[in-house]
Amino acid sequence: MAKYDLVFEGGSAKGSAFVGALEVLQQAGHTHRRLIGTSAGAITATLLAAGYTPQEMLAAVTERLPNGKPRFASFMDPPTANDFTEQEKLNSTTMKALESVHLPGFSNLFGGAVDRLVLKALLASDRYCQLFSFAECGGFFTGAKFLEWFQEKLAAKGIPADVTFETFAARTGADLSLVASDTADVEMLVLNHRTSPDCLVALAVRMSMSIPFVWREVVWQEEWGLYRGRNKTGNIIVDGGVLSNFPIRLIATTDPFIKDVMGDTDPNGAGNLGLLIDENVAVANVADTAQPPALKLQLRTVQRVSRLVDTMTKAQDNILIQNHEHEICRIPAKGYGTTEFEMAEARLEALIESGRSAMTTHLGGRLTSAVTS
């Protein structure tokens, strides 16, 4: 039996594969010390820290709506006009464009009333609401359904929806760190009870999984307190994967920054184990298919940007990945889409089984840095 510091890579819908890997890890009798995650990895790390077993996580990722669709499909929740504040509407690019159009007689007679009526009419269209959200809030979807689901999962373990990192650590005894990206200060955030004790855990997970242009950006609120003693109020926070999709650096290296955000922890107190989603290796017993055409069309712009972000983040993380290859469990996920939340049951099971198989192989021959307990 061994103890590990676990790092979970970001991968959004592909993160379901972690459940299978954790099943095998638990069955082998292994435990964890610290938990670190980005995006989908942040979800997994937090549920594990909250006391979820792999079996309970499996039930969560395979949950179905009354209409039979996966619960995860609801995470792609398009906005309505009511999701935007009056300030967002009045200060929007659309309003500025309408104000710049001069219609003789109308502008002087009605002031801005006509512009507001036109904007209201535009926002009555579902498709325009998505475009408005994309332009003004940084994403096509609200992310509200995800947050609702996640808070529900915390509540199932007796943890309040508004639990802070400080309270979460005291209640669970878990050392949890989640990675997000601050676009205002151009900085990777490592959110935990040391760096941001007053930040809400559920909102930190929501920040970490905010894939740019997919989900709305999260704006740091004053009541979430300071980050490493610095004010972040009003800063726009997005997916941690923008700066580090696989933050193995947080457990594999030691420098003043790491000690500050992760604590002065005994590096020999646990082994390192990173769970990485490998998009170059095919999943067994599943066709190498792409996302449905409708989803491709809807997220065409997002996919272009995501490819650029993936290239930048993987180039940065790849150096550490190469240096710590023996501490990484690679989970095949070729052909699976980042936003493929509505995958067929058999396809989802194949992905989860891919995690089981990868961890079985890893434990059988490549894991060498464990600390026996």
| Digit-coded pLDDT (tens) for 166-181 | 999 999 999 999 999 9
Report the pLDDT value the prediction gives residue 242, as an integer from 0 to 100: 86
Q: Provide mean pLDDT across the span 241-246.
A: 88
Q: Give tens-digit pLDDT for 281-298.
A: 999 877 644 444 444 445
Grade residue 369 by pLDDT with cuts at 50, 70 and 90. Answer: very low
Q: Provide mean pLDDT across the span 42-63.
A: 95
Q: Provide mean pLDDT across the span 62-79.
A: 90
Instruction: Assess whether pLDDT exceeds 80 at residue 60.
Output: yes
Which stretch of 123-137, 207-221, 244-258, 309-323 has the lowest confidence by average pLDDT?
A: 309-323
Grade residue 189 by pLDDT with cuts at 50, 70 and 90. Answer: very high
For 45, half-sphere exposure in the C-beta direction (CA atoms, 13 angstrom radius) is: 36
CA distances from 103 to 96, 264, 311, 365 (A): 15, 66, 47, 74
What is the C-alpha to C-alpha distance for residues 60 and 149, in angstroms, rounded to an integer?
A: 9
Q: Provide mean pLDDT across the span 311-336.
A: 78
Report the pLDDT value the prediction gives residue 305, as an integer from 0 to 100: 61
What is the C-alpha to C-alpha distance for residues 341 and 68, in angstroms, rounded to an integer?
A: 13
Q: Provide mean pLDDT across the span 113-137.
A: 90
Instruction: Assess whether pLDDT exceeds 50 at residue 255.
Output: yes
Q: Provide mean pLDDT across the span 201-225.
A: 94
Report the pLDDT value the prediction gives residue 68, as an integer from 0 to 100: 86
Q: Which residues are CB-contacts of 147 (< 8 A; sequence separation ≥ 6)?
A: 202, 203, 206
- 3-state SS class at 119: helix
Q: Give tens-digit pLDDT for 13-31.
A: 899 999 999 999 999 999 9
Instruction: Assess whether pLDDT exceeds 60 at residue 111.
Output: no
Q: Provide mean pLDDT across the span 35-56.
A: 96
Q: Which amino acid is at 320?
A: L
Grade residue 211 by pLDDT with cuts at 50, 70 and 90. Answer: confident
DSSP characters over 319-332: HHHHHTGGGEEEEE
Q: Give tens-digit pLDDT for 338-362.
A: 778 888 888 999 999 999 999 999 9
Average pLDDT, the chain: 87
Question: What percent of the chain has pLDDT above 70?
Answer: 86
Question: What percent of the chain has pLDDT above 90?
Answer: 63
CB 153 within 8 A of CB 50: yes
Q: Give tens-digit pLDDT for 77-110.
A: 999 999 999 999 999 999 888 888 766 555 554 5
CA angle (124 as vertex; 120, 126 as ends), nearest 5 = 140
- Model confidence, pTM: 0.88
Instruction: Assess whether pLDDT exceeds 90 at residue 318.
Output: no
Grade residue 315 by pLDDT with cuts at 50, 70 and 90. Answer: low
